[in-house]
Structure 1
Amino acid sequence: MERILLSLFFVLVFSNFVLAQETSNSEKEEKTNPIIYFEGFGGPSVVKNLGVSGGVGLNYQLGESLFTFRYINSAGYRRKNDGPVIIAPSVYKSEDNVELALMYGRRWVKEHHSYSISAGISRNNFELESRDLDGIRTVSTAGFYGFPFEANYKRFYSKKRSNLIYNVLIPSVGFKLFGDIGKYTFVGVGVSVGFGLCKHY
């Protein structure tokens, strides 16, 4: 399974490099600097139970190609067996997953907003906790490789230069759909906030 995921990832990256080298001369004349931006994000997610996820990402864009390093911590929660549910249920963290991922994708910039999709390979450390009727905890852990993915929509400063930090950084805000397909699959949606180096025009 791990070899299949690695093979798919490298085939995807290599095929896009080949296509990029076959661009016309007119496209090659439009030379711009690479785009580097950092983002933090968070929102509701589902592992085995409903919970929340938060993470950060470092992105490097060259042309329309997007390379991403991503860290996510996802947690799921279950209701405790003790006590009635009156106003708010008493819950405990039943799942905790830490993901480190490398992804490749495509990003399209349209004036002051952008769209992107990415996929790749990840390493996950998963912890599962259960409790019996007496409240006795049982914890199991697992490490596995997965198939991470995400889709983004971002809006950023509409001018060619930002007033933030001496015209060096451009802020952005957007929405993210993210997840990881593996032994313990999770998926989530959230809000992202980022800062990136400005593009030279």
Structure 2
Amino acid sequence: MKQLLIILCVVRFSVKPIFAQDSVKTNPIIFAELYFGGAVAGLTGLETGGSLNYQFKNSLLTFRASNLSNLDINILAPIIPIPIITNRNYTNELDLLYGLRHIKSGYSVSFSVGVSYNYHVEKTYDNSYNLTKKSDSYAGLPFELNFKLFKKNKSRYRVYYVFPVGKPTGFGRSFGLKISGNASKYSYVAIGLVLGLGYHKHY
């Protein structure tokens, strides 16, 4: 009986630290992003967009919304030059992507593919400046490749990158490069800068 009590005590004090470690809570990996750039293949124009991202283990889920606009800039100069910007065509896009994200200290690399709903509009003008508008809705295969930098350790959040506020936290900014695109009826590939805010790894 005495030996059994000794064994139970040993098990009791050896198992407790294990469960204590398993019960340690950490932040989820969730962050929002804004990005902007330009198309380099397929459709032409300026790309702007935003996304919400959630990572579990190495898997990354992304909801993305973007706009690709082809702009004409004409100069009206009666006395002072005035730029006139005309939106020749544009594509609005809603995407749901799944991918893999690898985290290494203060940076990450990810690649994702998914499905999208796209709305494409083309505008043409005749010699009398009458507008003809053609629109089309279609599905696509969106994709993106990201390389991003973020803080390595918990630290106080800094307003305007200068003024520290609050306690040390994993919440912070990120920035990097994004290659994005869509394989569809109106395909394109774009390259741009991406800015993020949130929890970019477990701290």
Question: Smaller-chain TM-score range?
Answer: 0.7 to 0.9
Secondary structure at 1:50's aligned position in 2? coil
Larger radius of gyration between Structure 1 and Structure 2:
2
Alignment of 1:1-201 (within 5 A): 34-45=28-39, 50-78=44-72, 92-158=86-152, 160-164=153-157, 166=166, 167-197=169-199, 199-201=201-203
Q: Is the 8 A contact 1:46 1:52 kept in 2?
A: no
Question: For residues 136 and 49 of structure 1, do their structure 2 counterparts lie closer, same or farther at Cα, with a shift above 3 Å needed?
Answer: farther
Cα distance, 1:101 vs structure 2:
0.4
Cα distance, 1:136 vs structure 2:
1.9
Question: For residues 55 and 174 of structure 1, do their structure 2 counterparts lie closer, same or farther at Cα, with a shift above 3 Å needed?
Answer: same
Identity %: 35
Cα distance, 1:51 vs structure 2:
1.4
Q: Distance in 2 between matches of 1:113 and 1:174?
A: 9
Q: Distance in 2 between matches of 1:198 and 1:105?
A: 15
What residue number does 1:23 align with?
none
What residue number does 1:24 align with?
none
Q: Distance in 2 between matches of 1:94 and 1:120?
A: 28
Question: For residues 37 and 79 of structure 1, do their structure 2 counterparts lie closer, same or farther at Cα, with a shift above 3 Å needed?
Answer: closer
Bigger strand share? 2
Q: Distance in 2 between matches of 1:131 and 1:46?
A: 25
Secondary structure at 2:120's aligned position in 1? strand
Q: Distance in 1 between matches of 2:191 and 2:128?
A: 35
Q: Distance in 2 between matches of 1:198 and 1:110?
A: 11
- Aligned positions, number: 167
Q: Distance in 1 between matches of 2:124 and 2:85?
A: 12
Cα distance, 1:49 vs structure 2:
5.2
Structure 2: which 5+ runs fail to align?
Answer: 1-21, 158-164
Query: Which segment drifts farther, 181-190 or 60-69?
Result: 181-190
- Write the letter of the residue equivalent to 2:143: F
Q: Distance in 2 between matches of 1:198 and 1:59?
A: 10
Q: Distance in 2 between matches of 1:88 and 1:44?
A: 24
Q: Distance in 1 between matches of 2:128 and 2:202?
A: 63
Structure 1: which 5+ runs fail to align?
Answer: 1-28
- Write the letter of the residue equivalent to 1:161: K
- Write the letter of the residue equivalent to 2:31: Y
Q: Is the 8 A contact 2:43 2:186 kept in 1?
A: no
